[in-house]
Amino acid sequence: MSSSRHQVPAGSAPTVPTAHQRSPIGRAHSLSRGQKGGGEKKETRQGCLLAVSQTREGCRKDIPKNRPSLPLFKKLTNMGGLLNSKYGRGWTEHRKLAVNTFRTFGYGQRSFEHKISEESVFFLDAIDTYKGRPFDLKHLITNAVSNITNLIIFGERFTYEDTEFQHMIEIFSENIELAASASVFLYNAFPWIGILPFGKHQQLFKNAAEVYDFLHKLIERVSENRKSQSPRHFIDAYLDEMDCNKNDPESTYSRENLIFSVGELIIAGTETTTNVLRWAVLFMALYPNIQGHVQKEIDLVIGPNKMPALEEKCKMPYTEAVLHEVLRFCNIVPLGIFHATSKDTVVRGYSIPEGTTVITNLYSVHFDEKYWNNPEVFFPERFLDSNGQFVKKDAFIPFSLGRRHCLGEQLARMELFLFFTSLLQRFHLRFPHGGIPDLKPRLGMTLQPQPYLICAERR
């Protein structure tokens, strides 16, 4: 791909991530060697792919809108659905439908905030059953967060005892890790190894088939009493679009793409927000003084008994600063979702060929010393001005940028604030004695904490 027609960034063979001195999270996933301060582009080879890491300026202005034709994406979704589809009519239709339904049945409803608050009560009551004893919070957070997305997609929530749905969520989480395994990288570079009966890529394919079968049955159930053009949730709205376009041979609406889209929306709506909250809990237990400041603000603005409300967010700058620092510091999706150029383009003087895989290195943006003082220190006050008021930062882009930025950003922000404040309003969080966890994240398509135990004691 690097022919003489194209001036590509000078680069090198793949490098070992640099080790940072103060942040165990940074040590685990830095890909910023040679990018310190400048966020310069860097060429790496991935089989037959040329990958260009774009950060900051390039990310803001020239972020590509396509998806790379990786063998993994082709195998799992045939480049259909929503997340992995090529830029064009199919992606445009599915993106528009998803945005509209998330607004109509989710954050655009005046009552939806109340539904999140109701779920937070289920969540807190489940925590209460442990009576301050050590437990792993992961499954409860996952169930609570996924239920918010479930309300939009299926029009219903699932109980925390629903083992079948919980198993599906666990498979999703496992596939997020498997997708970043060496076996899958090899499969993307040399797809012929797919014929081999072993390897983590085979486990990923098996998991995906099980999930698709489950989603097919679930879609059939929730659409049984559907009334045409009177949608109750995303499934109904999608089926309405299928009906309206049934005579259009170019339509991309199909049962297969519906299943792919639902699976992708569940992953996107659950995995990232869940892990942000898990990191937030970990850091509150790790830094009890920060936890105390948040609780003091909660007590002052909300009080001990009233349910937190979004209208109070503007009165809680320190809480907002803490959540933003968790998002910055933990970099849940450090490399975003891979993009690809849809045509030959020029970025900062470099000619980038059509079809080039482009990695938006959000890690380098969030740890760039030109924009963040001591970026490897967890310091919520960096988001406060001299008067203690919350301030936005231009170099803060956890939800990515461009046409394919996270469509659930507004919903995620609602969930993070309401779940986080309600949790700290009711409980004091600490680690079991001698139980400070390993802070090095588990590497995957997302960065999640290592399993850890927490004690949630009534305040």
What pLDDT score was predicted for residue 88? 81
What H or E segment, with its residue span, contains residue 340? strand 339-340
Ranges under pLDDT 70 in the chain: 1-65, 402-405
pLDDT tens string 397-431: 888 776 666 777 889 999 999 999 999 999 999 99
Return the pLDDT at 384.
96
**For 204-245, how does the pLDDT look when each residue is reduced to its tens digit (9 = 90+)?**
999 999 999 999 999 999 999 899 999 999 999 999 999 999
What pLDDT shows up at residue 44? 40
Rounded to whole angstroms, what are the CA distances from 380 to 161, 279, 289, 324, 448? 36, 14, 12, 7, 20
Q: Which residues make up each annotated binding site? A: 406
Please give the pLDDT value at position 64: 61
Question: What pLDDT sits at residue 63?
Answer: 52
Q: Which residues contact 185 (CB under 8 A, 6 or more apart)?
A: 46
**8 Å CB contact between 346 and 413:** no
- Both tokens of 376, joined, read 């490897």
Nearest CA to 222 among 208, 237, 243? 237
Task: Compute the distance between CA of residue 96 and CA of residue 84 in angstroms, rounded to an integer.
Answer: 15
Q: Model pTM?
A: 0.85
Residue numbers in the known binding site for heme are: 406
Among left, alpha and beta (phi > 0; psi -120 to 50; other), residue 47 is left
Instruction: Walk me through the domains of the chain, giving residue ranges and CATH numbers.
Output: 24-458 (1.10.630.10)
- Spatial distance between the Cα atoms of 104 and 237, rounded to a whole number of angstroms: 10
Model pLDDT, residue 54: 46
Q: Which residues are CB-neighbours of 307 under 8 A, at least 6 positions away?
A: 117, 120, 121, 422
Q: How high is the pLDDT of residue 110?
A: 81
Give tens-digit pLDDT for 302-347.
999 999 999 999 999 999 999 999 999 998 887 777 777 777 877 7
